[in-house]
Structure 1
Amino acid sequence: MEEKTGPSERELANRLLGIVNASWMTQAVSVAARLGIADLLEAGPRTSSDLASACGCNPGALHQLLRALCALGICVQRERDLFEITPMGRLLGSNARYSVRSWAIYWGGAAWEVWARLQESVRTGDSVRSKITGAEGFEHLEKDPEAARIFNQGMVEMTRLIAADVARAYDFAGKRVVDVGGGYGELLATILETWPDARGVLFDMPHAISEARARFEARGLSGRCELVTGDFFASVPEGGDVYLLKSVIHDWNDERAKQILLCCRRAMSAQARLLLVERVMPERLEPTPEHQAIARSDLNMLVALAARERTFGEFEALLRAAGFDRVRLLPAGAFSLIEASPS
């Protein structure tokens, strides 16, 4: 008789429960971010009662949260009531170079409400977020400055993790780079810092551009970058050498994505290039961290925007339908660059 190999059914059940119950981690970290725990512990260890006074919480309840954060490696409990932030926990701080504070607040807040209705999107194919906000796409951010601030800063934090890889993966030397839908401009700013002879145009909605101005000034880049507001479904600035779109096309279904690409095509000269920065969906997903990140983003596109991540073949077909050819795929770390030329 052959011996059974692989995990037992009970082991698999426990592994599955780890996945099912993982939501507590999102909420614990998100609450810690909203309360500013990392900033409060920046100067050194503090007691939970002291922290409770500082952030207006019930002392016993905050003690429970801090213990949970210790289990996640966010804090360390030095004595019964004394807690210290860890190097990873510092990344929930406002001033950390690679802070993910705003993303944690967004993911455990506005996104949480949307994800709770995933089944509805799976049944209908519709965006749940548009039903909650009463607005399509990102229009709701124009009416809610605080939501816009958290979302856009969360995008800065996510982009910062890959910006250097993208900037080094492509030749931007001497180019005029039009960043379409670039938010606060984190990627464009990194490209300009990496390529001193490049110039930029940041193009987005008013809620993003209004904040971007001070950021480019603070980095000494305001003289090399124009800031333009507009609607990329209607038109985009002309005269660019590279039209850069990071995580824009995945936000929209094929019809709407084609509209954006057609606007870019109309603005481009024959010598200009389109450069998409996107996750590329594999033909088959496996249970790996890399594929899980793509799957999470894919479902997030569904519930938020009735959109999806695409395979390279799907990107290529979409680009050709919008008047592009010579499509090629370039690696850039966790994301990929998809370059296309006007037909």
Structure 2
Amino acid sequence: MDIQGNMIRSTIQGFSTSYLLYTACELGIFDALYQERRHVSLLAEELAIDEDILFRFMRPLVALKYVNEEKNYFNLLPLGERLAGQAKDSLKDFLLFTGRQAMPYWSKLCEAIKMNKIPYQLVEKQPYFQAQIQQNEKFEVFHNMMSKTSEQLQLDTYFAAKKDWHCIKTIIDIGGGSGEIIVKFLEYYRNAQGVVIDLQHVQQKAEEKLALYGFDSRCTFQAGDFFHAVPRSGDLYILSRILHDWEDEAAITILRNIAESMSENSALTIIEKILPEVIEGNASHLYMTDLNIWTMCGGKERTQSQFEALFHQSDLKIKALYPLKEDDYLIEIVKKDFEYQEGII
């Protein structure tokens, strides 16, 4: 058996598995089978798909253990349940975002590298985040994916180490989207009021989500642009998964604006992935994530030393580093001018 050849062929055809899952999601297969067994003929009728094509389409889903089949009846297995929109820990929005936005840009990877361009630029006419403002369909896909990802973020490690819940009065979430992250902080910092800062087109969704969570009395939305100014008077600032969207010069601009608004008692919490300082075989998914963020919008994932270089140029420094789940870290930052007692943990 050609083990190496089979491994290479499997990797080469990985794109087809991605398209298989994405298409199943777009067709509504996972949603239709969620907690309900279906005969192939009924499923085909409900989804308006040719029965023979549907059965052939379902076979690899069965082989890959996303779906179970018995006597032409199909039901979801645990992997398939994660791709149904009804699931609490659903990855449906991430899959739709990947299929609708990331995959077309990756198809231009070779051409873009040769031309020294971002793959996104060979597909779209507008900068990535400008398209989110002007094209509602793109905004919906991006927003749903980011909201679900933020909902699933676990900050237990950070909160378990903190003892200052009564000291924080004002929390400002910069680029906070519809508020999924700041809600987690407000639940811990029970005496605090919150402000979500983001572009105007996010306001309606943010206010709806804050009301849904029951935090509309403690948190407001304020339209703003972190490239121009950041509100003062924050005890705690949040910057969650923002810096990786931007190259270094833009990231430094964001950080400097925040630093100028921080007082000697303010802290900035940054949530990002951190790459290993040297290439590690078990970090291949992080390197692919780094390429993906560049392909999408020209951003980058960074090592700790690369983050430290950004902070140094922004008059900031690391106070503590908290590992979270799923390769995320919370980096606690203070202004460089002020001394602190804690070390990096």
- TM-score norm. by structure 1 comes to 0.90
Q: How does 1:114-125 map to 2 (within 5 A)?
A: 114-125=105-116
Q: Which amino acid aligns with 2:211?
A: E
Asked if residue 266 in structure 1 is aligned to residue 260 in structure 2, the reply is yes
Residue 10 (structure 2) pairs with residue 22 (structure 1): no
Which runs of structure 2 are paired with 1:1-343 in the superposition (5 Å)?
A: 10-79=2-71, 81-165=72-156, 168=159, 171=162, 173-174=165-166, 175=168, 176-288=170-282, 291-333=283-325, 334-343=327-336
Is the CA contact 2:93–2:145 (under 8 Å) kept in the aligned structure 1?
yes
CA contact (8 A) 1:46 1:82 kept: yes
Gap regions ≥5 residues in structure 1: 1-7
* More moved, 235-244 vs 105-114: 235-244
- Equivalent pair of 2:157/2:322 in contact (CA under 8 Å): no
1:318–1:149: structure 2 CA closer, same or farther, 3 Å change rule?
same
Give yes or no for contact 2:289–2:301 (8 Å, CA) kept in 1. yes
Distance 1:40 1:331 in 2: 38
- 2:264 corresponds to which letter in structure 1? A
- What CA deviation, in whole Å up to 9, does each residue of 1:20-43 have, x standing for no partner? 111122111111221222221124
Return the alpha-carbon distance in structure 1 between the equivalents of residues 109 and 156 of structure 2.
32
Alpha-carbon distance in 2 for matches of 1:209, 1:73: 41
CA distance in 2, matches of 1:283, 1:114: 28
Runs of 4+ in 1 over 6 A off after TM superposition: none
Partner secondary structure for residue 284 of structure 1: coil
Q: CA separation in 1, counterparts of 2:147 and 2:115?
A: 31
Q: Deviations over 1:39-61 (max 9, x none)?
A: 21124111222222222222222
How many residues are matched?
A: 332
Post-superposition CA distance 1:159-210 (Å, at most 9, x none): 2332344663663724222111122222222232344333321111233332
Q: Percent identity?
A: 27
Q: What's the C-alpha RMSD, in Å, of the aligned pairs?
A: 2.0
| Cα pair 1:31 1:105 within 8 Å, conserved | no
Partner deviation per Cα, 1:75-116 (whole Å, 9 max, x = no partner):
11022x210012331222222211111111111221100111
Structure 1 match to 2:341: none
SS at match of 1:18: helix
Provide TM-score, normalisation by structure 2: 0.89
Letter in 2 for 1:178: I
Q: SS at 2:334's partner residue?
A: strand
Q: Which deviates the most, 25-34 or 205-214?
A: 205-214
Q: Contact (CA 8 Å) 1:167, 1:190: kept in 2 or not?
A: no
